[in-house]
Structure 1
Amino acid sequence: MFRPRVLVFFFIISEWCADNGQDPVFEYLEPQELNNLLRSFYCEVRRKDGEHYSSVSMRCIRAAIQRHLRSAPYHREINVITGPQFVSANNAYVGILKSNKDRTPVPKHKVPVQPEDLKKMFSTGVCSNLTPVSLQHMVYVMITLHFCRRGREGLTTLRKDSFIFRYDDVGTEYATMSHLQSTKNHKGDQTNDPDNKQERRMYATQSDQCPVAALKLYLSKLNPKQDSFFQRPKSMKKWVRSDTTWYEDAPVGKNILGNMMSTISDQAQLSQRYTNHCLRATSISTLIHAGFSRSDVKTLSGHRCDASLDSYFQPSRAQKRKLSDTIHNAIAASSSSTSMTSVQVQGLVPAPSTISRAPPSPNPYINYDMPSAQSLQRAAQPVRHEEVEVQASSHHEPAELAAKLFKKCTFNGSVVINVHQHMHRH
């Protein structure tokens, strides 16, 4: 007798045979023909949405085919998984598994709530003690952050007695869980923790957003007829602030609880739409950026290994800005030390509009049309002061000579040109 899950996977190949013109009764095919059919099936089978089946699903499909062929009334003495007759089919199967691995998307971790958005949640009154809804939002955010709770996990199982209040050895009040809930990393752990090894604490503060005071107010306003911790808030038409009960005798639905942070994001008009799990990422990232060790963070988050925290070691927005500013300051400091300055020819070269082209000189020692390579090399050096000596004939003016000699030249820094006139002896 097939289990329902096995039948589901077996029906996949039956539907594929019918859709692709293959004989759906493939149980009696010869090994070679069955091998060809399975090879085509592994390569072409798709989900109804057109996507490839996952590697786990492909393994289950192949195992279901093998079990089907071995069961009554067929009792085939063949093995489509390890049999030598099905080498090409299994090679195609392995290729599909490898391609599935390449198509597997990289896990996308939730982003923490930005500090500005966290402040805005409270400053806008979306998380406050003003109304039944805002008080429930405030308590939800507080317990999720302080106890590092996962997105939707265990919200519907919380009861009014799930939280208790205690005092530490110095007399400071705090709230903690009365029992350990079953979580993804700690299955079935519903017993008490007598040694307080896994106790998570939410301490009272002297501020308007005191989490302990908010939790006490919320518990005092819950409906006594309902044991659920998250109860449906009264409508504003029925609610009066002086009422002793702010909530109805009905629990909040799982979908509303699962989208609690998205609702808060919309009402507070945050910079983006956060999910419930973003609050858990906020708790872990805040502790990491504050310098707490991995062991301290794991005590709150419940992670079992250090590698699980690697995804949370990401720079915050402020840290990213600081990284960018540091690089920019290094570039700015380097640029200022080598910045271009205007070329200063001290009183020797007049404005370009006043320079007239001199007739060709009979002096063979000076080429007015093209400066010498040595002169260009010395003039182009980035120094503050450079002296260039040029021998010129007595009948040429210094300004005219300089304009001719350094035509189309570019200077970096401050350049001083001294032109000495010497009489040419024939």
Structure 2
Amino acid sequence: TTKLRFFYNGKYLCLRGGNEHRLLRFSQFTRETATADGKERACYIYTEQGSKNHGGGMGQLHLDNKVVRHFEVPEAGSRDYVHILDQYFEKVPREAIEKDNFYVRPLSSIVEGKPWFTSVPIGKNKLSSMVKDMCAAGSIEGNKTNHSLRSFGVTTMFKKSVPEKLIQERSGH
């Protein structure tokens, strides 16, 4: 679902608010196979194309874009981020990928063997309230925003003893 992709994109890519989600593009993702932990694994490479801290311009020409590699975790099954992205790329129409807006509207009915989505982008208001809506649907109290996913991602990495340098690279801080 869109909410699941939104959640994982915010958590794993450490995206800030709705604007970074709105500016997300299919072209920012590359899929390849690489070695991790001595095993060949599928991997998505996300390359940031500007953010709040890296808006572009002449003064930032020497800065590198944030690059996030996310390897498959087969034990996660259908909740594996690589699996979720694979399925999404498979179910969006070619036209949507050509238009290069990552979040597109789902179709109201699904036909086997056909795309599950339109090429129409999801609106910025819908994207900006996504976490708030998810929390309301799950009866989660408190002031949760799209930025909360980024905080959650950083906290999760910290608790799993990911080196601070890697956390900084992924989060942009």
TM-score range, shorter chain: 0.7 to 0.9
Alignment partners' CA distance in 1, 2:72 and 2:85:
10
Contact residue 146 and residue 283 of structure 1 kept, 8 A: yes
Amino acid at match of 1:286: T
Match of 2:53 among 177, 185, 188: 185
Q: Deviations over 1:374-397 (max 9, x none)?
A: xxxxxxxxxxxxxxxxxxxxxxxx
Q: Report the counterpart of residue 296 of structure 1 in structure 2.
A: 166
Q: Distance in 2 between matches of 1:243 and 1:269?
A: 36
Compare relative contact order (CA 8 Å, sep 6+) and give the higher one, 1 or 2.
Answer: 2
Name which of 82, 93, 107 aligns with 1:234.
107
Q: 1:186 to 1:176 in 2, by over 3 A?
A: same
Cα displacement string for residues 146-194 of structure 1 (whole angstroms, at most 9, x for unaligned residues): 11111123322222222111222342111111x432112222179996x
Aligned to 1:138: 4
After superposition, the Cα gap between the structure-2 partners of 1:172 and 1:192, relative to the gap in structure 1 and judged at 3 Å, is farther
Identity %: 23
Q: Is the 8 A contact 2:71 2:82 kept in 1?
A: yes
Q: Is the 8 A contact 1:180 1:190 kept in 2?
A: no
User: C-alpha displacement at 1:277, in angstroms?
Assistant: 0.5
Within a 5 Å distance, the mapping from 1:309-324 to structure 2 comes to: none
1:324-335 map, 5 Å:
none
From 147, 150, 156, give the equivalent of 2:22.
156
The structure that is strand-richer by fraction is 2
Matched with 1:281 is: 151
- 3-state SS in 2 of match to 1:183: coil
- SS of 1:172's partner is strand
Which residues in structure 2 correspond to 1:353-372 (within 5 Å)? none
Q: Distance in 2 between matches of 1:192 and 1:219?
A: 30
Alignment of 1:44-123 (within 5 A): none
1:130 equivalent in structure 2? none
Q: Could you report, residue by residue, the CA deviation over 1:210-257 in whole angstroms, capped at 9, with x for unpaired residues?
A: 11011111111113223221111222xxx1252521122311111111
Q: Distance in 2 between matches of 1:262 and 1:139?
A: 15
1:288, distance to aligned residue in structure 2 (A)? 2.2
Query: Structure 1 CA distance, aligned partners of 2:172 and 2:15?
Result: 9
Helix, strand or coil at the partner of 1:186: coil
> Residues 186 and 270 of structure 1: is their aligned pair in 2 closer, same or farther, counting only changes over 3 Å?
same
| Cα pair distance change 1:261/1:182, threshold 3 Å | same
1:279 CA displacement: 0.5
Contact 1:165 / 1:174 at 8 angstroms: preserved in 2? yes
AA of the residue aligned to 1:264: M
- Of 111, 115, 124, which residue of structure 2 is paired with 1:254? 124
Closer, same or farther: CA 153–191 of 1 in aligned 2, 3 Å: farther
Instruction: Provide the C-alpha distance between the structure 2 equivalents of 1:215 and 1:152, rounded to a whole number of angstroms.
Output: 19
Q: Distance in 2 between matches of 1:230 and 1:212?
A: 16
Paired residue for 1:174? 43
Task: Quote the Cα distance in structure 1 between the aligned partners of 2:107 and 2:81.
Answer: 22
CA, structure 1 residues 153+281, in 2 after alignment: closer, same or farther (shift >3 Å)? Answer: same
Gaps in structure 2 of 5+ consecutive residues:
none
Q: Is the 8 A contact 2:131 2:145 kept in 1?
A: yes
Query: Is the Cα contact below 8 Å between 1:146 and 1:201 reproduced in 2?
Result: no
Q: Within 2, Cα distance between the matches of 1:190 and 1:250? A: 33
Cα RMSD (Å): 2.5
The whole-number CA distance in structure 1 between the counterparts of 2:62 and 2:91 is: 28
Equivalent pairs, count: 162
Alignment of 1:30-41 (within 5 A): none
TM-score (norm 1): 0.35
CA contact (8 A) 1:284 1:301 kept: yes
8 A Cα contact 2:28 2:48, kept in partner: no
Taking a change above 3 Å as real, the CA distance of residues 185 and 203 of structure 1, as seen in their structure-2 partners, is same
AA matched with 1:230: Y
Q: How does 1:375-386 map to 2 (within 5 A)?
A: none
User: AA paired with 1:185?
Assistant: N
